[in-house]
A = this chain, B = another copy of it.
Amino acid sequence: MFKTRLSEAQASVQTALDARVAQYPAGQLRDAMHYALQGGKRLRAFLVLEGAAIFDIPAEQAMPAACAVEALHAYSLVHDDMPCMDNDDLRRGMPTVHVQWDEATAALAGDALQTMAFELLTDAALGEAPARLALVADLARASGAEGMVYGQALDIAAETAATPLTLEQITKLQEGKTGALIGFAARAGAVIADQDPAPLAAYAEALGLAFQIADDILDVEGNEDLTGKRLHKDAEAGKATFVSLLGLEGAKARAGELCEQAIAALEPYGERADILRDLARFTIARKH
């Protein structure tokens, strides 16, 4: 059930993203945007669609928000992979955008993917203007100078800091860098339905941290063919991670606790949230 729904969501989100990009003027910029939007687990889009399903919002209605969070995520990866940031040459098993083209194209494609994310949230399919505007405001808060980009800036600063980060500091960093956008994705259905997003926000807070701990574990234990990205970079760079701070077994135990917390937060929704419970379990068990 879970795997089938995730596969279906991956396919429908890819179709919708490709259709939107195809409407832009042809050229290298559009090619690079299209390229950066291929593949990926689509967990953020899936969160949007399944969060929306709890409130009986059909996938067609929530789809522009699902695509928006993936476009936003793709922009952050394209810029984060650039030589002046993480300098990664491999992403989702393919050369990164600045390797495939050049740095200017990566900068511009990332810029335009961010714009595309906000544009998608103005799509009439999502519902009335106040709901769409609330999504725009929520995505801006989650992804800007107090959300994702703030976390990325803390991450860059940590690389040149004299001492490794503490557990408290790395938790704050990751709440911005990965947690904020996962929070947007989880809340989006409630925002569209004009319902209280608090249970989904609590779910996302635990899920986001579990997701990042799982990423840190994969960086140590993972397989580059399965993850499609360079691994062991954190240890080589001497960066503090949840694994370096808690140990491998400690990190796995903490991810398990957070998974249980995430599942518990969904209690108000009963069995309507079963897929989101499965998603929490998948997050910490995934191999990629």
Contact = CB atoms under 8 A, between A and B. Distances in A.
A166 to B, nearest CB: 17
A149 B29 CA distance: 9
Nearest to A102: B84
A132 B107 CA distance: 28
Q: Report whether over half of chain A's contact residues are helix, strand or loop; otherwise say mixed.
A: helix
A156 B104 contact: yes
Nearest to A85: B104
A150 interface: yes
B149 A108 contact: yes
A92 interface: no
B28 A157 contact: yes
B116 A118 contact: no
A108 B152 contact: yes
Given A111-B114, A119-B137, A145 B30 contact: yes
Contacts of A133: 122, 129, 132-133, 136
A50 to B, nearest CB: 26
A114 to B, nearest CB: 6
Contacts of A165: none
A133 B119 CA distance: 10
Contacts of A150: 24-25, 27, 29, 112
21 contacts: A24-B145, A27-B150, A27-B154, A84-B106, A85-B107, A105-B156, A108-B152, A110-B111, A111-B149, A112-B145, A114-B114, A115-B143, A115-B145, A116-B140, A119-B136, A119-B144, A122-B140, A129-B130, A129-B132, A133-B133, A136-B136
